[in-house]
Amino acid sequence: MATLALSWPVAGIAADAVIGLSPSGSEHITAYAEPNAKSATEQMPVSTLIFPLPILQTKSGFLAVQLNGQSYWLRAAKVRVKRDSSAKCSELIASATPTNATPGVGGTGCR
């Protein structure tokens, strides 16, 4: 059984990354040469993958990742993705008109 070598820039990992499969009990991931391909290019055992897989591009419900030095497309519905996000609550609260409501979850929703 061959192990797939993953490659991405050493300087940093993409903000959005594939962190697992959905459902998580899946033993194989299907990789495609292009988005919306009719048939799979590769059927890869999950045990050979090293997560997270940086997402290089998205298109039509597919995510581009690098596996073994080559670009492949994975169905977005078949993987779990970690998305980079940041709250901007302080800006929103500062510009809001005072009301009788508390922003966020209690007083700590944006901390």
Using the 8-state DSSP alphabet, how is residue 11 labeled? T
109 domain residue, yes or no = no
60 domain residue, yes or no = yes
- In tens, the pLDDT along 26-77 reads 899 999 999 988 899 999 898 888 999 999 999 999 999 998 788 999 999 9
64 domain residue, yes or no = yes
What residues make up the domain containing 41?
Answer: 17-82
Whether the CB-CB separation of 31 and 41 falls below 8 Å is answered with yes
What is the CATH classification number for the domain harbouring 75? 2.30.30
Q: Which of 9-13, 14-18, 42-46, 49-53 has the least mean pLDDT? A: 9-13
| Percentage of residues in the chain having pLDDT higher than 90 | 40
Using the 8-state DSSP alphabet, how is residue 15 labeled? S
Q: What pLDDT sits at residue 10?
A: 33
Q: What pLDDT sits at residue 24?
A: 83
9 domain residue, yes or no = no
